[in-house]
C-alpha cells in the first residue's frame, strides 16, 4: 500500500483524507471544526483521531495540505480599465485561489489607499496597460501604494515598458515583476502572475497565518484550497496521459463564507453570427461570491436572490420564520440541519446561493442593433451545452435534495439572457474529497482521477423547472 494523507485546513472545517495511490482507493475521510481562534492544530488532531478510528494506524508516505483558514489568501487587484486589465487582474487572482477583497480601476486616490490599508490584504496585484500602452496609471498607482502603511508584497504584472519603474516607485514595499496579465488588447496571460501568487502564499502567507507549525507536520502546505479544487476540476475534465476525463464541466462549492463556481469549458459563441463583447475568459475559470455563503455570509443570500419572500417560498414556511432561521444560522456558524425546519431553510438558501453564483459566473446574451440590423451579443462564457455539474460543500453533503438544489444552477426562462447549462448530470462530492484530489493530482494524477470517478456520486440528469 502507498498511503497518502491529504489535509485541507478549511475556513470552517479541517478535512483529512487517506488514499492508497497504488490502488486508487479512498481509505477514509474525517473532519473537525477549524480551531483558527486558538490553534488550528487542535482541529487537525481531532480530525486525525477520527480518521484513525475508521482506518486503523496507517504509515503515510506523504502528507500534503492546502489551506483557506484564517480568511484564506486575501488579495487586492488593481488595473486600468474595469472591463480589461482590471478584470484580467481579478481573473488572475481568483485563478490562483485567492479571495479578491478589493478591485480597483483607473488611478487610485487617497480614499482608495485608506481603504486598502483597512483591508490589510495578503498580496496586491498591480496591473495596467498593454505592453507599450498606457503607463501613466500604473506608475501613479505604484506611487500611491508606496504610501500604504499596511505590510503586503506587490506583484507587478502590467505594461512591460514601465513595470520596472513601477516596482521602484513602490518604495519599501516588497515587489515581484512578472509578465503582463494582458500584453495585447483582449489577450489574457494570467499564468505567470498566478504562479508568483501561489509561491508567495507558500513562502509568506502560511507563516503569517500561524500555519507554520502544522506545515512541519506535513510535507508541505502546497496551495490555497480553491487552487486545489481548481486542479481537481481541470484533471477531472481533461484527464491525464492514458486516462480520459469526463469533458467540459461546471462546479459549485457551497462554503460557509463564500460560494465558489468553477467552469472548465471554452464558452465560445456557438453561432458565427453572434458578436462577442468584452475580454475573452480563460478555459479554466473561477469566481468567488463573498457575499453569499451558507453560514458566515448567509444573510447575503436573501439580499442577492430577491428577498426573504423567495427563501420562504422554497422553504415552505412563513416569511418571518425564514428570516428568523436565517439569522439563527448566521449566529451559529457550526449549526447542522438537524430538524425539519433547518433542513428546509438550508435547502432554500443553498438553492438560491447556487442560482445566484452560477448566474454571476456564466455569460449573458443580449440583442443589439447594428448598421445591418439586429444581432446577438455575448458577454462572458456560453455554458448552455455543458452537461456535467459537480456539487460540493457542506450544504450539499448534508442535503437530502441535492438534485433540486443543483437544478437552480441550470437555465431558466425567468432569466433567458443567462447562458447557464440547459441540462446536466449532477455529480456530488459526497465524501468532500475534491481539494484532496487536487493535492494528489500534482503527485499522482491517474490515482486522483480514478478516485474521483469512483467517488463522485451521480444523481442523474436535471434541468431547471420553470
pLDDT band at 17 (very low <50, low <70, confident <90, very high): very high
Tell me the C-alpha distance between 168 and 182, whole Å: 21
Q: Does residue 346 share a domain with residue 313?
A: yes
Alpha helices (H) along 56-179: 85-95, 110-119, 136-145, 163-169
Q: Does residue 371 share a domain with residue 257?
A: yes
pLDDT at 393: 87
Q: Does residue 416 share a domain with residue 324?
A: yes
Span 265-271, average pLDDT:
92
Q: Is the pLDDT of residue 275 over 80?
A: yes
What is the DSSP annotation of 344-395?
A: HHHHHHHHHHHHHHHHHHS-EEEEEEETTEEEEEEES---TT--EEEEESHH
pLDDT at 206: 62
Q: Does residue 245 share a domain with residue 106?
A: no
Name the nearest CA neighbour of 184 among 100, 81, 89, 85. Answer: 85
pLDDT at 187: 87
Q: Does residue 96 share a domain with residue 21?
A: no
Q: Does residue 265 share a domain with residue 185?
A: no
Provide the residue range defining the domain that includes 114: 73-203
Helix (H), strand (E) at residue 213: helix 212-217
Residue 5: strand pairing partners: 18, 63
pLDDT at 333: 84
Tell me the C-alpha distance between 263 and 385, whole Å: 12
Q: Is the pLDDT of residue 269 over 70?
A: yes
Name the one residue in this structure whose C-alpha cell is 480614499.
111
Q: Which of 23-37, 59-73, 124-138, 273-287 has the highest mean pLDDT?
A: 124-138
* pLDDT tens column, 392-451: 988 888 788 999 999 999 999 988 999 999 999 999 999 999 999 999 998 899 999 999
Q: Is the pLDDT of residue 316 over 90?
A: yes
* Percent of the chain's residues with pLDDT above 70: 93
Q: 201's torsion region: left (phi>0), alpha (psi -120 to 50) or beta?
A: alpha
pLDDT band at 37 (very low <50, low <70, confident <90, very high): low
Span 173-195, average pLDDT:
92
Residue 33: strand pairing partners: 13
Residue 384: strand pairing partners: none
Q: Does residue 107 share a domain with residue 62?
A: no
Tell me the C-alpha distance between 74 and 205, whole Å: 10
Q: Does residue 149 share a domain with residue 129?
A: yes
Q: Is the pLDDT of residue 223 over 90?
A: no
Q: Does residue 457 share a domain with residue 318?
A: yes
What integer best gives the mean pLDDT of the chain? 89
Name the nearest CA neighbour of 301 among 253, 361, 358, 348. Answer: 348
Name the one residue in this structure whose C-alpha cell is 499564468.
191
* pLDDT tens column, 330-365: 999 888 888 999 999 999 999 999 999 999 999 999
Domain boundary among 195, 223, 251: 223
Greater confidence (378 vs 273) lies with 378
Q: Does residue 83 share a domain with residue 184?
A: yes
Greater confidence (452 vs 399) lies with 452
pLDDT at 395: 84
Domain count, the chain: 3
Q: Does residue 286 share a domain with residue 392?
A: yes
Strand arrangement of the beta sheet that strand 74-78 belongs to:
99-104, 74-78, 123-126, 154-156, 175-177
* pLDDT tens column, 94-131: 877 788 889 999 999 999 999 999 999 999 999 999 99
* pLDDT tens column, 297-312: 899 999 999 899 999 9
pLDDT band at 82 (very low <50, low <70, confident <90, very high): confident
Tell me the CATH number at 175: 3.40.50.2300
Tell me the C-alpha distance between 374 and 113, whole Å: 44
Q: Does residue 409 share a domain with residue 394?
A: yes
Q: Is the pLDDT of residue 212 over 60?
A: no
Tell me the CATH number at 7: 3.30.420.40
* Percent of the chain's residues with pLDDT above 90: 62
pLDDT band at 72 (very low <50, low <70, confident <90, very high): low
Q: Is the pLDDT of residue 264 over 70?
A: yes
pLDDT band at 213 (very low <50, low <70, confident <90, very high): low
CA 277 to chain centre: 24
pLDDT band at 201 (very low <50, low <70, confident <90, very high): confident
Greater confidence (388 vs 92) lies with 388
Amino acid at each position: 500500500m502507498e498511503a497518502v494523507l491529504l489535509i485541507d485546513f478549511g475556513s470552517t472545517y479541517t478535512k483529512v483524507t487517506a488514499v492508497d495511490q497504488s490502488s486508487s482507493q479512498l481509505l477514509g475521510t474525517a473532519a473537525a471544526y477549524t480551531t483558527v481562534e486558538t490553534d488550528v492544530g487542535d482541529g487537525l488532531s481531532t480530525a486525525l483521531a477520527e480518521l484513525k478510528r475508521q482506518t486503523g494506524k496507517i504509515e503515510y508516505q506523504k502528507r500534503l495540505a492546502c489551506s483557506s483558514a484564517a480568511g484564506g489568501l486575501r488579495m487586492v487587484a488593481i488595473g486600468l480599465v474595469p472591463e480589461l486589465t482590471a478584470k484580467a487582474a481579478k481573473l488572475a487572482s481568483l485563478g490562483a485561489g485567492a479571495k479578491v477583497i478589493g478591485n480597483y480601476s483607473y488611478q487610485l486616490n487617497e480614499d482608495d489607499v485608506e481603504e486598502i490599508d483597512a483591508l490589510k490584504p495578503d498580496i496586491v496585484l498591480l496591473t495596467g496597460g498593454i505592453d507599450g500602452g498606457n503607463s501613466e496609471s500604473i506608475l501613479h498607482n505604484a506611487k500611491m501604494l508606496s504610501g500604504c502603511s499596511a505590510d503586503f508584497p506587490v506583484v507587478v504584472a502590467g505594461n512591460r515598458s514601465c513595470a520596472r519603474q513601477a516596482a521602484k516607485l513602490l518604495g519599501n514595499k516588497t515587489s515581484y515583476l512578472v509578465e503582463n496579465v494582458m500584453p495585447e488588447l483582449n489577450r489574457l496571460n494570467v499564468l505567470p502572475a498566478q504562479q508568483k501568487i501561489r509561491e508567495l502564499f507558500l513562502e509568506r502567507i502560511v507563516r503569517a497565518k500561524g500555519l507554520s507549525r502544522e506545515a512541519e507536520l506535513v510535507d508541505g502546505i502546497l496551495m490555497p484550497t480553491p487552487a486545489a479544487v481548481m486542479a481537481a476540476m481541470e484533471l477531472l475534465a481533461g484527464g491525464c496521459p492514458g486516462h480520459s476525463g469526463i469533458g467540459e464541466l461546471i462546479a459549485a462549492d457551497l462554503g460557509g463564507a463564500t460560494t465558489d463556481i468553477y467552469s472548465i469549458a471554452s464558452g465560445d459563441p456557438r453561432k458565427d453570427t453572434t458578436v462577442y463583447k468584452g475580454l475573452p475568459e480563460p478555459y479554466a475559470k473561477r469566481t468567488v461570491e463573498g457575499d453569499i455563503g451558507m453560514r458566515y455570509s448567509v444573510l447575503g443570500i436573501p439580499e442577492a436572490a430577491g428577498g426573504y419572500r423567495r427563501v420562504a417560498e422554497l422553504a415552505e414556511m412563513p416569511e418571518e420564520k425564514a428570516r428568523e432561521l436565517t439569522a439563527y444560522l448566521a449566529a451559529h456558524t457550526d449549526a447542522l440541519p438537524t430538524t425539519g425546519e433547518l433542513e428546509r431553510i438550508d435547502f432554500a438558501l443553498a438553492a438560491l446561493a447556487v442560482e445566484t453564483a452560477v448566474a454571476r459566473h456564466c455569460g449573458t446574451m443580449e440583442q443589439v442593433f447594428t448598421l445591418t440590423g439586429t444581432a446577438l451579443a455575448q458577454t462572458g462564457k456560453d455554458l448552455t451545452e455543458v452537461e456535467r455539474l459537480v456539487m460540493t460543500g457542506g450544504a450539499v453533503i448534508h442535503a437530502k435534495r441535492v438534485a433540486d438544489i443543483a437544478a437552480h444552477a441550470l437555465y431558466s426562462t425567468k432569466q433567458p439572457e443567462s447562458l447557464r447549462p440547459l441540462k446536466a448530470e449532477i455529480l456530488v462530492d459526497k465524501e468532500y474529497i475534491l481539494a484532496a484530489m487536487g493535492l494528489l493530482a500534482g503527485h499522482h494524477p491517474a490515482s486522483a482521477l480514478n478516485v474521483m470517478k469512483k467517488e463522485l456520486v451521480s444523481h442523474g440528469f436535471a434541468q431547471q423547472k420553470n
